[in-house]
Amino acid sequence: MSEEDDIILSELDDEELVQQMFDDLYDGLKEEIQEGVNILLERGWEPYDILTKALVGGMTIVGADFRDGILFVPEVLLAANAMKGGMAILKPLLVETGAPRVGKMVIGTVKGDIHDIGKNLVGMMMEGAGFEVVDLGINNSVEAYLEAMEAEGPDILGMSALLTTTMPYMKVVIDTLVEQGIRDDYIVLVGGAPLNEEFGKAIGADAYCRDAAVAVETAKEWMGRKHNSAATA
Amino acid sequence: MSETSIPDDRTLTDEGLAPARAGRILLIACGALAREILDLKKANGWSHLDLTCLPAKYHLYPEKITDAVRETVAKHRAEYDDFFVVYADCGTGGGLEQACEEMGVQMVAGPHCYSFFQGNESFAQTAEDDITTFYLTDFLVRQFEAFIIKPMGLDRHPELRDMYFGNYEKLVYQAQTDDPALTEKARDCADRLGLAFERRFTGYGDLETTLKAL
């Protein structure tokens, strides 16, 4: 891409720069994304606008092309890494400027499962969509989930598993929530390569999310329902 | 009756193996198991078993396995008395087991080949201690570039290595055969992934006992 080597980001107007950031995210160019974020900040953009319009906008294109089989996991990871670089600049500023918060999610991979690529993508996209994300990391027991949920009071519990052998543990967690009478206090979203919608229903989750973009949309939808039911209660 | 010759790994990866049309039971296996099954067949004189393999690359796309097995059974239904599916669950999320039940066909027990090579019982016992273990078999060591490095993009973007393997600690090479050169290659694979190395000789494990019972 020798032509693009000549592009000087600071010389682009806002619209062109955002478009270029979409391209740079798509190509997984972390330094360029960080430069773009800093330029927009210098131009007086609100951190939240940079996050949603430039970064999330770009990752949405990446997500769509992944779903359509145009991009593959390595490219998505590179794009995510670039977005992470931009978010590292924006995160402290978002706290300072009090960006709108859509909801709170506790997320982690289940006991026995150390595969966190999907979980990390979901966490990042959820943050980008305005959710506060408490990431419990990998290999979480039911006790770890419960402890975090009690401490954090999230709206959403997200569980992820890559292995056929570990995905049944999601049911253990949900059954425990039911036993303790707190299942309906949370929206439970599950995801991971071997899962499907049928499995999600069978274990008593609210929804199965096939990728990070679907997780965000589903989370927003369920938060909307929660607000509606709270308003009519 | 002609004996099936073993195609090269690339053919097994991309195309699989056609049946020899000899034997009353058709084994429908992953291409990654072709050598092992043909070796067992030859060593034990299992002339009642014929073998066809689906492309080994389905290891990377497990969502394709169930439908491909269904199609293979349907295609050869009239030619054999019985079928046996030489896949474990292999990432199909129970889908393959359900399909086999519907078709009245048996399959190998267990979650994946790493488990049945080690022995399902033994694997289940050590599973908790081995959650940070990444496994390779003989086939996967030979085909490390095609099954690990290239599809994960590590040839183009080595910086992604720790995003994939950062939570792993150890690479266990499950050796089906004694091959010093393959062991050295496996050790090199571990180095490339930044993992400690361990070789466990498994032989054919539950694969052999399962097929012997047919």
- Tell me the DSSP string of A155-170: SEEEEE---TTTTTHH
Asked if B111 and A112 come within 8 Å (Cβ–Cβ), the reply is: no
* CATH of segment(s) B9-108: 3.40.50
The beta-carbon neighbor of A165 closest among B62, B111, B164 is B111
Identify the helix (H) or strand (E) that includes residue B54: strand B49-54
Query: Cβ atoms within 10 A of the Cβ of A75, count?
Result: 19
What tokens does B157 get? 């973007």
Give the C-alpha separation, B80 to B180, whole Å.
39
pLDDT for the residue B93? 85
**Contact status, residue A107 vs residue A119, Cβ threshold 8 Å:** yes
Q: Average pLDDT for residues A33-47, to the nearest whole number?
A: 97
Asked if the model's pLDDT at residue A18 lies above 90, the reply is: yes
Q: Is beta strand A131-135 parallel, antiparallel or unpaired with respect to B82-86? A: unpaired
Which chain A residues are Cβ-neighbours of B170 within 8 angstroms?
Answer: none
**Contact status, residue B23 vs residue B48, Cβ threshold 8 Å:** yes
Q: Average pLDDT for residues B12-26, to the nearest whole number?
A: 94
Per-residue confidence band for B4, with pLDDT thresholds at 50, 70 and 90 = low
- B128-186 pLDDT, tens digit each: 889 999 999 999 999 999 999 999 999 999 999 999 999 999 999 999 999 999 999 99
Q: How far does Cα B178 stand from its chain's mean position?
A: 18
- B96-141 pLDDT, tens digit each: 999 999 999 999 999 999 999 999 999 999 988 899 999 999 999 9
Give the C-alpha separation, B14 to A48, whole Å.
47
What tokens does B84 get? 């046996």
Per-residue confidence band for A230, with pLDDT thresholds at 50, 70 and 90 = low
Asked if the model's pLDDT at residue A231 lies above 80, the reply is: no
What tokens does A87 get? 């978010």
What tokens does A75 get? 């490219």
Mutate to test the interface with A, among B118, B135, B163 (most CBs of A within 10 A): B163
- A155-205 pLDDT, tens digit each: 999 999 999 889 999 999 999 999 999 999 999 999 998 899 999 999 999
Asked if B153 and A72 come within 8 Å (Cβ–Cβ), the reply is: yes
Per-residue confidence band for B6, with pLDDT thresholds at 50, 70 and 90 = confident
B197 touches chain A (CB under 8 A): no
Q: In chain B, which residue's Cα lies nearest the Cα of A167? A: B93
Q: In chain A, which residue's Cα lies nearest the Cα of B88? A: A164
pLDDT for the residue A99? 77
What tokens does A105 get? 């999610």
Which chain B residues are Cβ-neighbours of A196 within 8 angstroms?
Answer: 93
Q: Please name the residues between 100 and 129 in chain B that touch chain A, using a CB distance below 8 Å.
A: 111-112, 127-128
pLDDT for the residue B1? 42
What tokens does B56 get? 């080994």
pLDDT for the residue A2? 47
Sign of the alpha-carbon torsion through B44, B45, B47, B53: positive
**CATH 3.40.50.280 residue spans of chain A:** 101-233
A231–chain B nearest CA distance, Å: 39
A98 touches chain B (CB under 8 A): no
b/e per residue, B78-113, with b = 16+ CB within 10 A? eebeebbbbbbbbbbbbbbbebbeebebbbbebbbb
Asked if the model's pLDDT at residue A134 lies above 70, the reply is: yes
With a pLDDT cut of 90, the percent of chain A lying above it is 81
With a pLDDT cut of 70, the percent of chain B lying above it is 98
Asked if the model's pLDDT at residue B8 lies above 50, the reply is: yes
pLDDT for the residue A5? 61
Q: How far does Cα A167 stand from its chain's mean position?
A: 20
State the average pLDDT for chain B. Answer: 94
Asked if B167 and A116 come within 8 Å (Cβ–Cβ), the reply is: yes
Beta bridge partners of A110: A140
Which chain A residues are Cβ-neighbours of B152 within 8 angstroms?
Answer: 73-74
B111–chain A nearest CA distance, Å: 7
With a pLDDT cut of 70, the percent of chain A lying above it is 96
- A138-168 pLDDT, tens digit each: 999 999 999 999 999 999 999 999 998 899 9
Torsion angles phi and psi, residue A92, rounded to 5: -60, -30
B166–chain A nearest CA distance, Å: 9
Identify the helix (H) or strand (E) that includes residue A23: helix A14-26
What tokens does A72 get? 């593959």
Give the C-alpha separation, A89 to B163, whole Å.
21
Asked if B167 and A163 come within 8 Å (Cβ–Cβ), the reply is: no
Which chain A residues are Cβ-neighbours of B163 within 8 angstroms?
Answer: 77, 81, 117
**Contact status, residue A162 vs residue A194, Cβ threshold 8 Å:** yes
pLDDT for the residue B133? 96
Beta bridge partners of B28: B52, B85
CATH homologous superfamily of A1-100: Methionine synthase domain (1.10.1240.10)
> At what angle are helices B65-76 and B95-103 packed, to 10 degrees?
20
Domain locations in chain B as residue ranges: 9-108, 119-201
b/e per residue, A164-180, with b = 16+ CB within 10 A? bbbbebbbebbeebeee
A228 touches chain B (CB under 8 A): no
Per-residue confidence band for A97, with pLDDT thresholds at 50, 70 and 90 = confident
What tokens does A48 get? 């939240």
The beta-carbon neighbor of A138 closest among B91, B93, B167 is B167
Rg (CA), chain B: 17
**CATH 1.10.1240.10 residue spans of chain A:** 1-100
> In chain A, which ranges are E strands?
103-109, 131-135, 156-160, 187-191, 207-208
Which chain A residues are Cβ-neighbours of B89 within 8 angstroms?
Answer: 164
Q: Exposed, middle or buried: residue A3 (CB in 10 Å: 0-12, 13-18, 19+)?
A: exposed
pLDDT for the residue A1? 47
Query: Cβ atoms within 10 A of the Cβ of A88, count?
Result: 12
What tokens does A173 get? 């967690």
CATH homologous superfamily of A101-233: Cobalamin-binding domain (3.40.50.280)
Asked if the model's pLDDT at residue A232 lies above 70, the reply is: no
Which residue has tokens 């059974």? Answer: B73
Q: What is the pTM of this model?
A: 0.87
A46–chain B nearest CA distance, Å: 30
